[in-house]
Amino acid sequence: MRKKARFPGIYLGIILALMYVPILLVIIYSFNESRINSVWSGFSLRWYRDLFRDKDMLEALINSLVLATVSSLSAAVIGTLAAVGMPRVKLRGKSVVEYISTLPIMIPEIILGMVFLVYFSLIRLPFGMITLTVAHTSFCIPYIYMLVKARLVGIDKSYAEAAKDLGANEWNVFWDITLPLILPAIASGVLLSFAMSLDDVVISVFVTGVNTNTLPIRIYTQLKTGVTPKVNALSTLMFAATLLIIMLSTWFGRKTTLSVKRRNT
């Protein structure tokens, strides 16, 4: 069986490489002198310069960052509180509410965008940052809720018992034991939500106002109409940001898996 062991490695390598080709092309051409993406005419940073001079782009970037921060943090609060509280409350229809609250990541994005559009105009929520925040929070909550819930299940209940045994009350147990142990899950949930929000096009297109642009919306319109390599530059920066987020989240994630592993010893 040993001799065949090479094929899986090659396969994994090829597929991974293919995944990076489009991204690398975008990055390479962001440094291209020429306006045309398929012709290399020399190294240049002019598109980055242009990008930073573009007021609209900058505004869209700020909008996107604010939106991602606010929605991922609100989702963190709502999701974490609920994940901690749910197992301890006795309410009728609890599991139904739990299921429905995860629907925003189960149903196709386009439907979510569409129902938000019609519903927000029904309840006369002004389209713009407010509607965007509500919509984004709705699909961030399930991520955080599910991550924290999974982590809570993974925490050996003897930790809490040991703490009580050593003199802790419920409140001490939460602050000293539960919260530190679920913190990595909350952190990686927030990072994932942040990335999701920063990336979202479909829902945003539906619920944004006339004068509110987010970065993905700007890029989307540009891709549909005409692109300048400015978009390459922007994409490269966004890729760098993603890279940073991934690194942070795997760092948290490693801590999480470590503490999960500890449980088995």
Partner 1 sequence: MKPEALAKTGEPRPGEPTSREEGARKPTKRRDAMVLSVLPLYVFTFLFVIGPLVYMLVLSFLRRAEVWGVTLEFTFENYANILKPVYLKTFLESLKLACLTTLLVALFGYPFGYFMARQNAAWKRRIMVLLMIPFWTSSLVRLYGWIIIFRANGVLDGLLMALNITNAPLKVLYTYAAVVVGMVYALVPFMIFAVYSSAEKLDWQLVEAARDLGATPFQAFWTVSFKLTLPGLLSGIVLTFIPSMGLFFIADILGGNKVVLVGNLIQEQLMKARNWPFAAALSVVLLTLTSIMIALYRKISGVKDLEGLV
Partner 2 sequence: MDDTVILQLSQIHKSFGDVKVLDGIDLSVRKGEFITLLGPSGCGKTTTLRIIAGLERPDSGRVFIAGKDVTNEEPNRRNVNTVFQNYALFPHMTVEANIGYSLRLKRVDKETIKKTVSQALELVQLSGYEKRMPDELSGGQKQRVAIARAIVNQPAVLLLDEPLGALDLQLRRQMQVELKRLRARLGVTFVYITHDQEEALNMSDRIAVMRNGKFEQIGTPSDVYDRPKTSYVARFVGSANIVEGTVLESDGQRIAFRSQGAVCLVAARGARLSPGEAVRVAVRSEMVDLTPYASPELPYSGLDAAGGNPGDSQVGLQAVVKEKNFAGGVLQITVSLADGSELVASRHGIDSPLVPGDKVRVTWQPERAVLVDLEETP
Q: Name which of residues 98 to 157 contact partner 2 (CB under 8 A).
A: 156
Q: Name which of residues 160 to 179 contact partner 2 (CB under 8 A).
A: 161-169, 172, 176-177
- Which of 48, 116, 127, 252 binds partner 1 (CB under 8 A)? It is 116
- Residue 257 lies near partner 2 (rule: CB under 8 A): no
How far is 148 from 77, CA to CA, in rounded Å? 11
177 binds, among partner 1, partner 2, none (CB under 5 to 8 A by kind): partner 2
Residue 28 CA neighbour count, 13 Å, CB half: 12
- Residue 220 lies near partner 1 (rule: CB under 8 A): yes
First to last CA, the chain: 33
Q: Give how far the C-alpha of residue 233 lies from the chain's centroid of Cα atoms, to the nearest Å.
A: 21
Query: Nearer to partner 2 by C-beta: 128 or 154?
Result: 154
Phi and psi dihedrals of 45, rounded to 5?
-110, 15
**Exposure pattern of 140-177 as b/e (b: 16+ CB <10 Å)?**
bbbbbbbbbbebbeebeeeebeebeeeebeeeebbeeb
- Residue 153 lies near partner 1 (rule: CB under 8 A): no
With CB under 8 A as the contact rule, which of the stretches 45-53, 55-63, 159-167, 213-221 interacts with partner 1?
A: 213-221
- Residues forming contacts to partner 2 in the complex (CB under 8 A) are 156, 158-159, 161-169, 172, 176-177, 180-181, 258-259, 261-263, 265
